[in-house]
Each structure stands twice: as structure tokens, then as C-alpha cells.
Amino acid sequence: MKIRKVALIALIIMAVTLPLSVFAQKPVVLRLAETHPQDYPTTRGDYEFARLVKERSNGRIVIEVYPGSQLGQEKAVIEQVQFGAIDITRVSVSPVAAFVPKLNAFQMPYLYRDADHMWKVLNGDIGKALLASLEPFGFIGLGWFEGGSRNFYNSKREIKTPADLKGLKIRVQESELMMGLVSAFGANPTPMAFGEVYSGLQTGVIDGAENNWPSYFSTSHYEVAKYFTLDEHTRVPEIIVGSKISLGRLSKADQELIRQAARDAVEFQKKEWAKYEQLSIDKVKAGGSQITYVADKAPWIALMAPLYAKQSKEVQDLVKQIQAVK
């Protein structure tokens, strides 16, 4: 009885005093969903972003990074960000464009002259305006990361010209534009979550897929699809997207702190990307992949004209603006 009384008193004291002290210092914890593993360059960029936010907020804001699709595959994650169940995610622009169609302008085939051109666009007025355009859809566009260029690979045969792609079942991200792109090359697009591609290739549900060097390597797709053609059909930026619902609860100053940290993590992420890209090239070559280089992209580019013509006026105008960036 006595012990119970003491315990009760202790509990009451805790209930009265604890919340005050805990609430006074309790950090705001934001969960960030990432599909790639811990050592992948986008994930490393996420950790750097989180580090900057924690440091600059003196520990008031903590971003917890969940790598390896722990919080789900990209499309589902984006939906959860939209209704505030996940606070932040780092994803490819492709699946986000299904929610914000304007973003398709950024992933049109053979659009950028090179990575520098893309970064000029992303860091300039167009990139800023497009990040802002996410808001009406429930997202806060925080920043861009490097995502290299995407290329076809498959388990069936060497692809030297677009004609060689004819009839192949090629996995694409859950993106209408990517389906149109693969169809325009004469192949059959199969939308599928990233995490299912390896078994899809292994069991023959799909013949191939398309991605950058780092993803081709880190997923081990190169082990089951050894024909890789460096056609560089797209250069799709990676994007960091926040939830308007959950970030909207923070002060304007804290929102800006987060945005600035995302921007300041980019240089680090780009360096990590360059290192990991080289490692991936070396590893897949050593692993026996057959790499085909495309000397003349003209026939590939020509096939994309109908896809450009099919885009909305909004996307076509943006494309012109992007092309005009010198």
C-alpha cells in the first residue's frame, strides 16, 4: 500500500513536471523517405541536408532519413507526403510529374545539352518557379539533386539503334511521359515500382528497364540485364519534396532554413554522385555488362518529335524557355 502511494505520488509529480521540461526542448522530428540504400549518393545528400538543418536550428529540427524504401515505394510515398503522413521525400521528378504535370517539361528526352545546362535551368528562374508551382498540389518544393542521365538496358540483345528496341518489354517509372517515350521508340512500356524491377528482369516479366549508372549498379540490375546502351535519353533531376501540411506548421523562418539547407546540400551531393557514378561504371564493366555507346543520337532524337508535339502548351512553352537557357 505504502509503495503504491509513493509510486502514485511519483507519477503525479512526473505528469506535472515532465511535460513542461520535455515540451520546452522537444525537437520537431520530420521523417524523410528515400528509396535508395544508405550509401547511395542521393541518400548521402539527404543526410547532409538533415545535418545542416539540425546544426542551423541548434537541434530544434531533426530530419530522420529512412533509406531503402522503408516508408514505401515512390508513388505511395508521394501520396503520403501530399496528405502529411510523411514529411519529406527525395524522389525522381518523373513520378512527381504525375501529380504536377508541368514538371514533365524537365524530363523531356534529349532536352538538355549537358548537366551544366540542366543545373543552369534548375538554379535559375525556371527552376525556382517550378519548385514554387508544387504548392497548390500540397507540396513544398525544397530543392534539386543530381540524377545523371538515363539509358536503356535489357537481358535480350544489344541495342545499337532504336529499331533494336522494337517489341521489348521495358519497365518505366509510374509516369505517363515515360510510357510515351518508350512507345515512341517502338518498345512496350511496363510501369512498375522500382523495388520490383530486379525480380521482373529475373523472371522475364520485363525484358529491360532504363536508368542511370548508379541505379543500374546499386540495384544489381546489371547482373540480370547485361546489355546497356548509353543513349542518354533523359536527364531527370532528383527532387526534394516537403509536405505542405506538415512543413506548413513551421514558422516561415524555419521553412526558409530548411529550403536553404536543401540548396546547400547540393554541392556535396553532386560530388558524391560523381564518385559513385564512376564506381558504378567500373563495377558493371567488371561484372560483364556489355556497354554500347551511341555515336550519332540524331535518329534517336528524331523519333521523339511526336512526343514533344503531344505535350500541353504549358509544357511546350517551358521547353522553349529551357532550350533558350545558355
Which residues of the chain form contacts with ligand GTR (CB under 6 A)? Answer: 35, 42, 74, 91-92, 94, 147, 173, 194, 211-212, 215, 238
Nearest to ligand GTR of 110, 194 (CB atom): 194
Nearest to ligand GTR of 215, 243 (CB atom): 215
Please give, one letter per residue, the 3-state secondary structure of the chain: CHHHHHHHHHHHHHHHHHHHHHHHHCCEEEEEEECCCCCCHHHHHHHHHHHHHHHHCCCCEEEEEECCCCCCCHHHHHHHHHCCCCCEEEEEHHHHHCCCHHHHHHHCCCCCCCHHHHHHHHHCHHHHHHHHCCHHHCEEEEEEECCCCEEEEECCCCCCCHHHHCCCEEEECCCHHHHHHHHHCCCEEEECCHHHHHHHHHHCCCCEEEECHHHHHHCCHHHHCCEEEEEEEECCCEEEEEEHHHHCCCCHHHHHHHHHHHHHCHHHHHHHHHHHHHHHHHHHHHCCCEEEECCCCHHHHHCCHHHHHHCCHHHHHHHHHHHHCC
Least distance to ligand GTR from the beta carbon of 149, Å?
10
Least distance to ligand GTR from the beta carbon of 280, Å?
11
Nearest to ligand GTR of 168, 250 (CB atom): 168
Nearest to ligand GTR of 148, 250 (CB atom): 148
Nearest to ligand GTR of 62, 198 (CB atom): 198
Least distance to ligand GTR from the beta carbon of 160, Å?
23
Least distance to ligand GTR from the beta carbon of 162, Å?
20
Least distance to ligand GTR from the beta carbon of 130, Å?
18
Least distance to ligand GTR from the beta carbon of 101, Å?
17
Nearest to ligand GTR of 91, 142 (CB atom): 91
